[in-house]
Chain A
Amino acid sequence: MSQGIKNTQEEILEVIQVENLRKKYGAIKAVAGISFSVKKGEIFGFLGPNGAGKTTTINILCTLARPTAGVAYINDYNVTSHPDQVRNSIGLVFQEITLDNHLTAEENLFFHAMLYGVSRKEFTQRKIELLKLCELWERRKAKIENFSSGMKRRLEIARALINQPKILFLDEPTIGLDPQTRKKVWDYIFTVRKKKDITIFLTTQYLNEAESCDRVAIIDQGKIIALDTPDNLKKMIGGDIITMKTEDNEKAETEFKQKFPEYSIKRLGKELKIEVDQGDEFLPILVKSLPSKIISMELRRPTLEDVFLELTGRQIRENNNGQLEEETPAFDLSTLFSFFTTPKKEKNNKNTKND
């Protein structure tokens, strides 16, 4: 462990190692002591709400911010003492678009190659491969000003791959994209992983995206509160989840507790949520044994949303007031109109929306 470089001879199995990492901004603890490691070749997801410390962690790992305490190794280089080697082994895609609008798709790749010291000969080979991979070969001579946001994102990922990094960091790669484009970007990420021998570290606040990762760390308020494969995380909850509506939820809840003390039941809004081992077998028993009139029933596998809810008592896109955050588009016309409406009216609108 002496000064940064360790066991360079052996093949590195854990390409990211983080021990007790902390970052304070003034009195605010953005990252409050996290430890984890990422294995070679895996897609590792950082799942958490806005402001959980995801971007701060990525910034530290990519040498853009210095940790207040703790150590982090990327490809066996210490991020604080060997930033240049770290930068050479990573590809980074920021949350916001960082392409050069003045240049064409091809030139953007060329500039990146030059910044990372890739020779022209190698660049020409990789360029063809990567432009075809991100399906922008036909548009390579076009200025990226006219690209859609999905195309820009794919080009950015391709650009990050030009210097053949060992680890690809993606900070919220699909934020602000529509579902269809989001899917396409994900397909692309999978193709990249398949074709390149690469480790992918990404942050996301979309639960369905976290499900596609090999392993997921759930981060909340600067701390990792769970880390495992999506399947194992979901097993924490139990086998299956049954949600049901009855005519009298309160009565049904007490009845359930009497008859099945081994299972947990929670009231969630107008529904009852039950966690059971074998949902398909339990469902008929439940129907027979509950005297209350059932309006509707649903059996489903647990999602990461359930895990997050279980661990934090909040939903992931919920803000501190317990209200669900709405997905706001990058530019919302309604904000313009809000200048003209009185604040009182706005409040009323919000309340009705959340109801």
Chain B
Amino acid sequence: MTKLSGIYVLWYREILIYLRNSVKFFTSIFLPLLFLVFFGTGLKTIFPLVSLPYDFAEFFFPGILALSITTMALSSTMSIVWDREFGFLKEILVSPVPRSYIALGKILGAASTALIEGALLLLATPYLGINFSLKIFFEGLAIIFLIAYGMATLGIFLTARLKKTESFTFILQLIIAPMVFLSGAFFPINNSPHWMINLSKYNPLTYGINSLRWVILSHTLPASTISQLTTNGFIPSLSIFILFTIIITILSLQLFKRLI
């Protein structure tokens, strides 16, 4: 019982911090929409020159969605650096709750906050000319949770042993930026030079975004068009991403067990 309530309380804390910090909450919803409207509209002006079988917003939206939840999940678990800085981590670590449960509580909390954000953003879908249904909503949520979970675990993996708070921002940028650029969130990776395609194959986020595109656009675009926007089919992408989450979970929990 102690163990489960430990997971619960760490999960609850993440949600509480997210919902209570109204600035964080509103920017997390507002910023992706801002991106979508301004960045999307700006880029759209270039695209009419090339005739594409899809609307730019249709391509862009799943990418922005994945980007937002990735940032949210990563920054939530990486906040463990701040917990360490302000001493609260010590209070958690000295409790009888096993280390792996502490990590799981934190990861699930981060994934849940990203899920809240993702759910609200998904509601914007119908206004972007994307055909929407309840099925897409729930399937989309499942993929969002999976991506958020994977990225949150990656965050734990990267920061569990980090002692210096200053290194934190560097890692965040050094990891997030290349991961996002190589994931096909902003441009279809298929049309990129070979070296970039090769690199993107080793990027777990690529497969997360692939899966999300397949699900969200399933009622809007024909499968042939979606496959132009993604590197792999739905089943392979999802399988590879699930494999990634399993591996990273094992690695992070092992790392977290040996903390202090």
**B117 → chain A, closest Cβ, in Å?**
18
Q: A62-B94, A64-B94, A87-B95 are in contact. Are A115 and B88 (CB under 8 A)?
A: no
| Binary per-residue interface labels of chain A (108-142) against chain B in the complex, 1 for a CB within 8 Å, 0 otherwise | 00111011110000000000000000000000000
Contact of B97 with A by CB under 8 A: yes
User: Is the Cβ of A98 less than 8 Å from the Cβ of B90?
Assistant: yes
Residues 48-94 of B contacting A (Cβ, < 8 Å): 86-88, 90-94
Contact of B134 with A by CB under 8 A: no
Q: How far is the CA of A111 from the CA of B10 in the complex (A)?
A: 8
User: Is the Cβ of A114 less than 8 Å from the Cβ of B8?
Assistant: yes
User: Is the Cβ of A116 less than 8 Å from the Cβ of B96?
Assistant: yes
B94: which A residues are within 8 A, CB to CB? 62-64, 87, 92
Q: A84-B96, A87-B96, A102-B20 are in contact. Are A114 and B91 (CB under 8 A)?
A: no
**B157 → chain A, closest Cβ, in Å?**
23
| Binary per-residue interface labels of chain B (247-260) against chain A in the complex, 1 for a CB within 8 Å, 0 otherwise | 00000000000001
**A204 → chain B, closest Cβ, in Å?**
20
A117: which B residues are within 8 A, CB to CB? 1-2, 5-6, 96
A98: which B residues are within 8 A, CB to CB? 86-88, 90-91
Contact of B223 with A by CB under 8 A: no
Residues 69-93 of A contacting B (Cβ, < 8 Å): 84, 87-88, 92
Q: How far is the CA of A208 from the CA of B21 in the complex (A)?
A: 44
Contact of B13 with A by CB under 8 A: yes
User: Is the Cβ of A116 less than 8 Å from the Cβ of B95?
Assistant: yes
Q: How far is the CA of A115 from the CA of B97 in the complex (A)?
A: 6
**B75 → chain A, closest Cβ, in Å?**
15
Query: Which range holds the interface residue count of chain A?
Result: 20 to 34
Q: A117-B2, A117-B5 are in contact. Are A112 and B91 (CB under 8 A)?
A: yes
Contact of B16 with A by CB under 8 A: yes
B1: which A residues are within 8 A, CB to CB? 117
Q: How far is the CA of A98 from the CA of B84 in the complex (A)?
A: 9
Residues 20-52 of B contacting A (Cβ, < 8 Å): 20-21
A63: which B residues are within 8 A, CB to CB? 94
Contact of B17 with A by CB under 8 A: yes
B21: which A residues are within 8 A, CB to CB? 102
Contact of A100 with B by CB under 8 A: yes
Q: How far is the CA of A112 from the CA of B90 in the complex (A)?
A: 12
Contact of B9 with A by CB under 8 A: yes
Which of A92, A99, A100 neighbours the largest number of chain B CB atoms within 10 Å of its CB?
A100
**A165 → chain B, closest Cβ, in Å?**
11
Q: How far is the CA of A94 from the CA of B28 in the complex (A)?
A: 35
**B13 → chain A, closest Cβ, in Å?**
7
Partner of B87, one of A96, A110, A111: A96
- Please report whether the interface of chain A is mostly helix, strand, loop or mixed according to DSSP: loop
| Binary per-residue interface labels of chain B (195-215) against chain A in the complex, 1 for a CB within 8 Å, 0 otherwise | 000000000000000000000
User: Is the Cβ of B87 less than 8 Å from the Cβ of A114?
Assistant: no
Closest to B260 in A: A64
User: Is the Cβ of A103 less than 8 Å from the Cβ of B96?
Assistant: no
Closest to B96 in A: A87
A112: which B residues are within 8 A, CB to CB? 91, 95
B95: which A residues are within 8 A, CB to CB? 87, 112, 115-116
Contact of A232 with B by CB under 8 A: no
Contact of A287 with B by CB under 8 A: no
User: Is the Cβ of A115 less than 8 Å from the Cβ of B87?
Assistant: no
Closest to B20 in A: A102
**B97 → chain A, closest Cβ, in Å?**
5
User: Is the Cβ of A115 less than 8 Å from the Cβ of B92?
Assistant: yes
Contact of A299 with B by CB under 8 A: no
Partner of B9, one of A62, A97, A111: A111
B87: which A residues are within 8 A, CB to CB? 94, 96-99
A87: which B residues are within 8 A, CB to CB? 94-96
**A158 → chain B, closest Cβ, in Å?**
13
User: Is the Cβ of A100 less than 8 Å from the Cβ of B88?
Assistant: yes
User: Is the Cβ of A99 less than 8 Å from the Cβ of B88?
Assistant: yes
Q: How far is the CA of A112 from the CA of B9 in the complex (A)?
A: 9
Q: How far is the CA of A99 from the CA of B90 in the complex (A)?
A: 10
Q: How far is the CA of A103 from the CA of B17 in the complex (A)?
A: 8
Q: How far is the CA of A116 from the CA of B96 in the complex (A)?
A: 6
Sampled A-B contacts (13; CB under 8 Å) = A63-B94, A64-B94, A87-B94, A87-B95, A97-B87, A99-B87, A100-B86, A101-B86, A112-B95, A115-B5, A115-B91, A117-B1, A117-B6
- What 9 A-B pairs come out closest when comparing CB atoms? A117-B2, A114-B9, A98-B87, A115-B95, A98-B91, A87-B96, A114-B5, A100-B88, A102-B17
A residues lining the B interface (CB < 8 Å): 62-64, 84, 87-88, 92, 94, 96-103, 107, 110-112, 114-117
